[in-house]
Structure 1
Amino acid sequence: MHSHSQHNQHEQTEGNLKLAFWLNTVFAVVEVFGGIATNSIAVLSDAVHDAGDSVALGIAWYFHRISSRKRDKTFTFGYKRFSVLGALVNSLILLSGSAIILVEAIPRIFSPQHVNAQGMMYLAFLGIFVNGFAAFRVRKGETQNEKVISLHLLEDLMGWMSVLVVSIVLRFYDVPILDPLLSIAITLFILYRLYGSLRKTFRILLQGTPKQMQAEEIEKHIREIPEILAIHDLHIWTMDGSFHVATLHLEVANEMNLQETEVIKEKVRHELHHLGIAHATLEIELQGQTCDLNDC
């Protein structure tokens, strides 16, 4: 059941990334022509940004497909971590794109340019619809790759909302400086969000314990099983932000036979599964056995 659920989730994620990729790619082309027609640098900047997002979505889609492969002799842990690699690449693309927007927006504060406000408004409505729909499709993603892509799309959505606000204001008032000011504010907000996303990505790559899990709490639950005398060498990490793994040593009484230890293992695996651990490797040790991995 768990494997079937993960398979369905993987297919749904790939479908969402595929849809978002094609929506962004087609719309980026529309933006280029729209930006030229309206003489709007803001729209052209969004076109460049959306083109970058299309590349990011393509990378995310590619890495996500790789992450579904079965483990082999080269990658004995499987390919799930490729999804996290995709998240890292996309974060760097988003960071670069945000830097470019800041470089373009800051000079425009001192030399604002007049644009076709009505054309900007029509493009903004279309941009909000396209990016809003794509963001809606990937917003519930559980992998770090999807979360970074969601951040990409959120930035695009907010960018088009700012274009809409500016275009409406510019139809009635001659205040072109609003365009770069809003662009800078949105970019700074996205950079703040990106910082948190990068921290999560590096936590996964550095084998950190998943944030929603506490090693002490997991150990406490396992110790409640009567046959368990002690626990050590507990390691918990996540492969991609949603598939969590654990290894640990269990100490039991000397009189335990093989069949009884297998029953204990099943109890521990059941408890770990209930706590969110998808895969666990357990080693049984008899009471008093010497183990050099207590502090490993």
Structure 2
Amino acid sequence: MAHAHHHHGGPGHHHHHGAGSNIKVAFFLNLTFTLLEIFGGLWINSIAILSDALHDLGDSLSLGLAWYFENVAKRGRNQKYTFGYKRFSLLGAVINSVVLLVGSFFILSEAIPRIFNPEEVNAPGMVGFAVLGIIVNGAAVLRLKKGDSLNERVVRLHLMEDVLGWVAVLVGGIILYFFDVPWIDPLLSVLITVYVLYNVVRNLRDTMHILLQAAPDNIRPEEVIGRLQQISEVSSVHDLHVWTLDGTYNVLTMHAVTDTSLPARQEEELKKKIRAAMADMNVQHVTIELEKPGEECTHEESL
């Protein structure tokens, strides 16, 4: 039986040196502003600002963990972590999700009773903070706009959401300034928090799929088998497993039965063809076991 192991460098996985520094700047900008927001929200007595502080805290955590784990992921594999440290970024996602879930339920428990028993809010302070929020988050978005790494794109989307959240707080502050409707503030808070929860649950679900080694959404095992069976030397494929380490780096193991017994040189050529076909399907790490016709497979499992 012949085994082949694909190299570890996948397309689209070159590390951008600027990515870390851009994320670092956005992280410190966000964290400083989050702390300012918490004090401001308590001073202005605005639960909507505190909700946005929670949203920003989540983004600060995402930025900080992305920055840290981007460095960890570069360590490469060793005797203990034979696949390397790529999956450590998922740890960051889980920590972030748990913090946001706890924070969201705390904010909701404060905000919902306030809709029915509204408290006085400092409307000019709310407007001032919202303008500051739009400026700070806008600056972070512009800082990351030059970057094209996956991390930067994800973080940029988060910060764009923050800008929209602050636009909502700004509108709420203006309404409160002209009209005596103090329930607007807790209502805004509930809407922002529900939106945060929706994203947390979605991200957590995606993270769990990866941790439980589900096939990546963009790679369907039946399509992989179909693509492999188009290769003339391959008569059938079995014991195929495909999973992703971190949502971007995909791994595949498989047994391929050849239609005739191939000499060593042709086996190598066939493995190259299989690897090229899998690279086109966004699989970065391929382990192939070739079997001759009629050879009994001890691992055979039907998919």
Q: TM-score, normalised by structure 1?
A: 0.88
For residue 263 of structure 1, the aligned residue among 260, 266, 269 is 269
Q: Are 1:288 and 2:282 counterparts? A: no
Matched with 1:239 is 245
Match of 1:8 among 9, 15, 39: 15
Aligned CA distance change for structure 1 residues 206 and 106 (closer, same or farther; 3 Å): same
Deviation at residue 12 of structure 1 after TM alignment: 4.8
Question: % of aligned pairs identical?
Answer: 45
Report SS of the residue matched to 1:106. helix
Superposed, 1:127-206 pairs within 5 Å as 127-134=133-140, 137=144, 142=150, 147=154, 153=159, 156-206=162-212
Give the CA deviation at 1:103: 1.3
Distance 1:196 1:53, change over 3 A: closer
State the superposition RMSD in angstroms: 2.7
Structure with the higher fraction of residues in helix conformation: 1
- Contact 2:52–2:192 (CA<8 Å) still a contact in 1? no
Distance 1:160 1:76 in 2: 44
Q: Structure 1 residues 230, 39: CA separation in 2 closer, same or farther (over 3 Å shift)?
A: closer
Deviation track 1:53-94 (CA, whole Å, cap 9, x = no partner) reads 434432332223212211000100110000111111111112
Aligned partner of 1:79: which letter? Y
Question: Is contact 1:248-1:282 (8 Å) kept?
Answer: yes
Which residues of structure 1 form unaligned runs of 5+? Answer: none
Supply the AA of the counterpart residue of 1:129: I
User: CA shift at 1:191, angstroms?
Assistant: 1.7
The answer to which structure, 1 or 2, has the higher relative contact order (CA under 8 A, 6+ apart) is 2
**Equivalent position amino acid for 2:84 in 1:** G
Q: Distance in 1 between matches of 2:24 and 2:191?
A: 30
Paired with 2:210 and 2:150, the residues of 1 have a C-alpha distance of 13
- In structure 2, the partner of 1:109 is 115
Corresponding position of 2:5: none
Determine the structure 2 residue equivalent to 1:251.
Answer: 257
1:167-209 CA distances to partner (integer Å, 9 max, x unpaired)?
1101110101011111112222222232221111000001110
SS at structure 1 position matched to 2:294: coil
In the other structure, the counterpart of 2:85 is 79
- Aligned match for 1:92, one of 98, 105, 109: 98
Which of 109, 118, 126 does residue 120 from structure 1 map onto?
126
Which residue is 1:59 aligned to? 65
Q: Structure 2: which 5+ runs fail to align?
A: 1-8
SS at match of 2:102: helix
* One-letter amino acid matched to 1:66: V
Q: Residues 152, 91 of structure 1: CA spacing in aligned structure 2 closer, same or farther, 3 A cutoff? A: farther
Q: Give the Cα separation in 2 of the matches to 1:81 and 1:90.
A: 15
| Distance in structure 2 (CA, Å) of the matches to 1:230 and 1:26 | 58
Q: Cα deviations across residues 264-293 of structure 1 (Å, max 9, x unaligned)?
A: 000000000011101101111111110022
Cα contact 1:250–1:285 (8 A) shared by 2: yes
Letter in 1 for 2:287: T
After TM superposition, the structure 1 stretch with the greater mean CA deviation from structure 2, 125-134 or 101-110, is 125-134
Moved more, 192-201 or 23-32: 23-32
Partners of 2:46 and 2:185 within 8 A in 1: no
Matching residue's letter, 1:177: W
